[in-house]
Structure 1
Amino acid sequence: MPTALIADDEPLLAASLAERLQALWPELQIVAVVKNGLEAVAEINRKQPDFVFLDIRMPGLNGLQVASTLHHARVVFVTAFDEYAISAFENAALDYLLKPVGDERLAQCVARLQRENKPSVDFGALISRLQKEPPGLAWLTVGLGDVTRLVAVDEVLFFQSADKYTEVVTTHERHLIRTSLKELLPQLNPKSFAQVHRAYIVNLHVVMRIERDLLGRQKIELKNSSHSLPLSRSFAAQFRQM
């Protein structure tokens, strides 16, 4: 659960801010509301909040001085004075709110804090997941005239069988490779590519919808593309949830 501390020497404004934050972000726990900079530092060290809302002009230590002591908490300055904005962002402030803070402006701030509060990436879990998932083919070597270059597999919309070759179709280009669909399919990540017809393999990430005509024939419409691909009944099961 995310936590926050509010420091403001005007008790009514501090209480109002706490109430409005709770309304906008019910999961946010206000762990302390203090009225000066010295109390703020003490409570921040004791409660270790995720976010700190600091007035700038406070008795004892001002908000900028409090912010300079922080190591982990993220700061939002709430002040009636706009001349401190540059100093505030030099102190890595997430936001700078001018009093009186309107509801829309406060909502924008809360949305920013919620993005910041996303859990950090667990790199160990990611590596473990990558090791479990088939990596799949990442690049294709294609010829264009006398030039040979690489095409990222993720950029491919679909592969189409063309006699002894396979046509590689991207948003803006077409290429031929000397690999049959049968040989190509096992090399592709099954979470990204699927065969949908004896002559087609499609990138699942670009599938927009499946359409059926009056005779029951199905076709696949692609996102941001004029291409449509036939969908054979023998391959249709994987799209029943679409």
Structure 2
Amino acid sequence: MISCIIIDDEPYARDEIAILLENEPDFEVLAQCSNAVEAIQAITKLKPQLIFLDIQMPKISGLELAAMLDPEHLPRIVFITAFDEYAITAFEKQAFDYLLKPIDDARFASTIARLRKDLTPKILTPITAVNLAHIPCFCGNKLKVIATEAVQYVYSDVSGVHVATDSELVHTHMTLRVLAEKTTLIYCHRQYLIAPAAIAEIEIQDGGAEVTTRSGAKVPVSRRYLKQLKQLFGFQ
């Protein structure tokens, strides 16, 4: 059984794929998501083997969502797009396959046949993106899209990964490693990332340092990252 999630902001487009998959008894639709925030939560929780991913979505595009996924646990991706130039030039090497809207039955059948042959999870080259503009987050039962430039620092603990702005603390299913690779946030501690623009003061301490952000928050700096943090601001 090949498990999958359908991600598209258009309900009719999601239903179209779901109906096509009803004729494929060895495919199981775990969830349907209408945006990237819902999708990244579902992918983290359900761990599908495959996602059908629309490219043109509001706020966070399909490309940005793909770039947010941990490359060590990357599902196979079939992109859905109305623009063939995107598929041909940008996704051919990174995606398992792509489908053009409106979806052609014969083309869909070809994709399904390829997926069946690819029973072993395919190791995909993670899709790169130049500094993600948004981070999908949640707070209780509220889903939030936080602008990356609004983030002061991010930290992880046993309860998950937490994103701090100057006005609120929310949570994300993205990992520190992916956030460090795809945003301008930098490590200051193995459990903390910080935005350089948010740093107001660095206090040197025994064994490391402590940063005070412009909003007054205190963030630890380990000895491992202290030198590069000082050099970032021209200190020796």
Scaled by the length of structure 1, the TM-score of the pair is 0.46
Larger relative contact order, structure 1 or 2 (CA cutoff 8 Å, min sep 6): 2
Q: Which has the larger radius of gyration?
A: 1
Q: Normalization by structure 2: what TM-score?
A: 0.47
